[in-house]
């Protein structure tokens, strides 16, 4: 993580868990931290913080270039996970790294400020046990004297933002977000009005909106309002008085560019023209230009350069015309979006793909694709890439393919929608999937109720297992790739956020883990996992295998040696995986 200072005269970087500063004019290198070792980590992070909080670059130059603020982690006491490589050498080799599973010891985190030319570190005095809190975000507070630090409790139900004094480490609380589930941290708050305020995202109204916070008083003023979510803040342009962001107030299936007045007057403009689909943008520093990418279900991504705010295209960067032509030459599935209603009245979005030669008088087997957890949305008007093409192929083989976004998925439907699965992963998630299936069977007679399959990867693999084990009369075939059968085997940050803490939530973990219900398997299961999965460990599938064997359940199991969570490494792997899945479906569905 080499970074220039704001003056462009020096570069700071991390090597072997210490921070170094190099003067570009003289090539002189100064090691400014000296205590880094196997367990003390300066300026970068351990596995779990990198994976779940996206924390990789762990230091920040002050605006005047005189100081560096940095994270330090102490991983002493965090259990080591061991992975074995049986194939690359004559004898097996082992890899170990700190990995805190649910209920285990986290790394201690603290933030310090050190002179850029070396010297003593001043540690920020964030309250609480450093192993029971997360310092999730840190930045200079619009000046070189203070930091803005966000601290989550271990349960992640509370996010507190502090202003910290870089000289003496004292901290002062500015804003607190408290929930009964989990609070979101805020990426890149921007200081405006010469540091008199900063921007903040919050769901306090029931929807995710942008606010302006005064750090001296904590006063909060809304910038955006309404029964819709701000999905992603792209740029805050103080000179123009606008904030640019992605939202879709009328449908959760699409994405558009908006801008709102920073003064909180409520002035709102949609800049994307009336072109249904998903639009993403990279804005120039003055927001006068943007690289714009557009896609839809049947439209491969097209990239052009546009002017703003008129959204006029001035140059096509990549039209992907050859790819689009090849796609249109296929026997394409008939595609439609639809809605169904869960048993408690919630509307659920879905899509259905039918064979090109679909005959409504016939009955067809159906395969559901599921993710179902808070980090994904499967139903959207966007290009679906390789997975979408795989589903196209399945329709050519005579299958219907469908997907439902159950409650809790990352759909811009408001706070209650997203939090409804708290401590209910595997319960509400697949109940919604089953409710959707039942309404679809009532609506469409062409679905064969005796030939229903489901598949998913990662969290979707977990929900596939839950569907097979909890609703065996509804789902007859399942393909679970890299699942988490036992939720206690996953990492602290992700799983405790959505499932609670141990030991107080032990009963909930047991009930929501698919492995608890494995004895109910009646249908056909294909279980697939990579042995080098450092994210969702192979260990979980091995435990599930033992549980299924104990109950006399027959199933198919395939382990990919030394493949990680995506199961992509190695020549021929993706083709082998997809053809194995097709063969399994043709034999069992």
Of the candidates 191, 188, 176, the residue with the CA atom closest to the CA atom of residue 144: 191
For the stretch 570-579, contacts whose Cβ atoms lie closer than 8 Å and that sit 24 or more positions apart, written own/partner, are 574/386, 577/481, 577/528, 578/390
d(CA 213, CA 215): 6
Give the three-state DSSP class for 550.
helix
Of the candidates 447, 395, 387, the residue with the CA atom closest to the CA atom of residue 574: 387
The active-site residue, picked from 279, 476, 537, 565, is: 565
Give the three-state DSSP class for 27.
coil
d(CA 409, CA 371): 8
The active-site residue, picked from 458, 462, 499, 541, is: 458
Alpha helices in 42-107 (DSSP H): 47-53
d(CA 242, CA 308): 12
d(CA 215, CA 174): 6
d(CA 106, CA 98): 9
Contacts of 554 (CB under 8 A, 6+ apart): none
Q: How far is CA 474 from the centre of its chain?
A: 29
Q: Is the dihedral of CA 527, 528, 534, 536 positive or negative?
A: negative
Task: Record the tokens describing residue 67, joined without a space.
Answer: 């100081």
The active-site residue, picked from 292, 533, 537, 541, is: 533
Q: Using CA atoms in the order 124, 127, 129, 130, what is the torsion angle rounded to 10 degrees?
A: -30
Residue 444: how many other CB atoms lie within 10 Å: 16
Give the three-state DSSP class for 505.
coil
d(CA 15, CA 348): 49
Residue 428 backbone dihedrals phi, psi, to 5 degrees: -60, -40
d(CA 200, CA 543): 43
Could you tell me whether strands 524-530 and 556-560 are parallel, antiparallel, or unpaired per DSSP bridges?
parallel
Place of tokens 């064979």: 355
Task: Record the tokens describing residue 237, joined without a space.
Answer: 């342009």
d(CA 223, CA 37): 45
10 Å CB burial of residue 270 (0-12, 13-18, 19+) is: middle
Contacts of 352 (CB under 8 A, 6+ apart): 335, 336, 338, 400, 401, 402, 440
Active site residue 565: yes
H or E stretch at 324: helix 321-328
Of the candidates 226, 233, 185, the residue with the CA atom closest to the CA atom of residue 205: 226
Q: How far is CA 447 from CA 158, 341, 439, in A?
A: 46, 18, 11
Active site residue 458: yes
Task: Record the tokens describing residue 528, joined without a space.
Answer: 């697939």
Residue 311: how many other CB atoms lie within 10 Å: 17
Kindly state the DSSP code that residue 185 receives in the 8-state scheme.
P
Active site residue 533: yes
List active site positions. 458, 533, 565
């Amino acid at each position: 993580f080499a970074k220039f200072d704001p003056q462009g005269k020096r570069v700071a970087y991390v090597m072997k868990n210490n921070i170094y500063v190099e003067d570009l004019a003289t090539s002189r290198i100064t090691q400014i931290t000296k205590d880094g070792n196997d367990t003390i980590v300066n300026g970068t992070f351990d596995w779990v913080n990198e994976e779940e909080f996206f924390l990789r670059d762990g230091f920040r130059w002050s605006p005047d270039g005189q100081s560096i603020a940095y994270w330090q982690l102490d991983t002493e006491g965090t259990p080591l996970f061991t992975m074995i490589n049986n194939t690359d050498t004559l004898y097996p080799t082992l890899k170990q790294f700190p990995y805190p599973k649910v209920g285990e010891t986290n790394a201690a985190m603290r933030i310090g400020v050190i002179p850029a030319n070396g010297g003593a570190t001043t540690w920020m005095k964030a309250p609480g046990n450093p192993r029971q809190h997360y310092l999730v975000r840190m930045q200079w507070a619009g000046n070189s004297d203070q930091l803005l630090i966000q601290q989550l409790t271990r349960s992640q139900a509370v996010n507190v933002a502090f202003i910290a004094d870089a000289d003496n480490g004292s901290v002062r609380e500015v804003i607190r977000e408290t929930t009964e589930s989990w609070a979101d941290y805020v990426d890149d708050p921007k200081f405006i009005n010469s540091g008199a305020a900063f921007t903040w995202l919050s769901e306090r109204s029931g929807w995710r909106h942008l606010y302006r916070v005064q750090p001296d008083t904590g006063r909060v003023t809304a910038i955006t309002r309404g029964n819709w979510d701000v999905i992603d803040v792209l740029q805050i342009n103080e000179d123009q008085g606008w904030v640019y962001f992605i939202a879709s107030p009328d449908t959760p299936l699409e994405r558009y560019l908006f801008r709102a007045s920073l003064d909180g007057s409520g002035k709102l403009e949609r800049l994307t023209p009336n072109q249904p689909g998903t639009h993403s943008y990279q804005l120039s520093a003055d927001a006068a230009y943007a690289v714009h990418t557009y896609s839809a279900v049947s439209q491969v991504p097209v990239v052009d350069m546009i002017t703003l705010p008129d959204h006029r295209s001035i140059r096509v960067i990549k039209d992907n015309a050859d790819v689009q032509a090849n796609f249109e030459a296929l026997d394409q599935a008939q595609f439609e979006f639809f809605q169904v209603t869960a048993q408690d009245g919630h509307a659920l979005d879905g899509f259905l793909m039918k064979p090109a030669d679909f005959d409504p008088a016939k009955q067809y087997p159906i395969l559901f694709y599921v993710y179902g957890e808070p980090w994904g949305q499967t139903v959207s008007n966007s290009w679906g890439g390789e997975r979408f093409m795989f589903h196209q192929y399945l329709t050519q083989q005579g299958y219907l393919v469908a997907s439902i976004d159950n409650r809790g998925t990352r759909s811009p439907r408001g706070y209650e929608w997203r939090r409804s699965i708290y401590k209910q992963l595997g319960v509400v998630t697949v109940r919604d999937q089953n409710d959707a299936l039942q309404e679809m069977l009532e609506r469409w007679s062409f679905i064969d109720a005796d030939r229903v399959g489901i598949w998913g990867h990662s969290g979707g693999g977990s929900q596939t297992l839950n569907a097979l084990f909890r609703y065996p009369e509804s789902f007859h075939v399942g393909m679970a790739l890299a699942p988490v059968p036992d939720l206690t085997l996953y990492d602290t940050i992700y799983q405790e956020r959505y499932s609670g803490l141990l030991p107080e939530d032990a009963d909930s973990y047991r009930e929501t883990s698919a492995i608890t219900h494995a004895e109910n398997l009646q249908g056909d299961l294909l279980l697939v996992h990579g042995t080098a999965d450092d994210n969702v460990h192979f260990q979980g599938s091995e435990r599930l295998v033992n549980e299924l064997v104990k109950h006399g359940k027959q199933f198919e199991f395939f382990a990919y040696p030394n493949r990680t969570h995506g199961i992509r490494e190695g020549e021929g792997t993706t083709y082998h995986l997809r053809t194995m899945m097709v063969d399994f479906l043709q034999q069992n569905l």
